[in-house]
Structures are given as structure tokens and as C-alpha cells.
Amino acid sequence: TASYCGFTRQYEGLEALYRRYRDRGLVVLGFPSNDFGQQEPGSNQQIAEFCANTFGVQFPMFAKSSVRGPEANPLFKQLAERTGTTPKWNFYKYLISRDGRTVLAYNSLTGPESKTLLRDLERPGGRLLRQGGMDASYVDLGDVQHLEFDYLHATRYRGATSGGATSTSSTG
């Protein structure tokens, strides 16, 4: 995600998606990154305040990190390995099934309200939410914690470092 991107308004849609499906197990995780066009220059505190005050973001946001290349955080390295694709721009999305066996990728043009994304979320045969919900439990979160990732919610900000950060509708 990024605060100064043409797709920044997708925060609204991601928050709406989170509110609509969280009781069914969907977790939306946001990963601010300055990888694309230097569109996320702010500190973790500034990002947290922007997301909360401008878009009412309540889904978990992590410390700013890299989401592609050799410096990518561990989760995005795993997602790239699983899908064969890396984020091409801000607000790239991954949809991960609860068991971690299904990982789908969506480019930045695919908004959170996209019929394609919503269909995949509830598609017959896959029904990602109806097969016990979704989480990122297959990811070794121990790696994430060692990099001192931190939630960015302004009300819970604890001074995260810019080291790296983790999805379930993951957006980078």
C-alpha cells in the first residue's frame, strides 16, 4: 500500500471488505511499501495516522517494508514463490485460503469490490470463506516477529522500526 498513489482510495474498499467478511474469517493485512515510485515516504506513525484518519482503516497494518526484490519481507518472498508473481505496483493483492493451499494474486487495477475478487472469495468449489474462513497461519510468523514488524494503528503504535512486515487479503 502507499499513501500517495493513484490506488490509495482502495483503502476504503479494503476496509469495507474487511468489515463485510471478518466475521466469516477474512483478515485483510496491509503492508506499506516505498518500492514503487517512492509513494510511501512517511514514517510508520505518519502512515498509521493517515490510514486511520483518512480512511478509517481498522484492519491490521504493518510497518513499512519492501515487498519485492532481495529486500522483500519474508511473507512476500513466500507469496512470490507460491504464485510465481511479485507485486508490480502498490495495492497488489493476494488472497490466501485458510489452509494455505490456494493463493491467488490480483493486480492493482483489481479493486477490493471487484466481481472477480469477490467471486474468488466465495466461488463454488473453492469457497474460500465457507471452508472455515481464512488466515495466514501457514506462514511462519516467527520470522515476521524477529524482524520487529508492528501494527501501525495510530492508537496502538509502539514505535515500529522500518525493517519489514506479513496477508490474507494482503496488499502491498
Cα–Cα distances (Å) from 101 to 15, 125, 135, in that order, read 25, 14, 12
Is 51 a residue of the active site? no
Q: What stretches of the chain adopt beta strand conformation (E)? A: 28-30, 93-96, 103-106, 169-171
Identify the active-site residue in 1, 2, 4, 5.
Answer: 5
- The residues assigned a catalytic role are 5
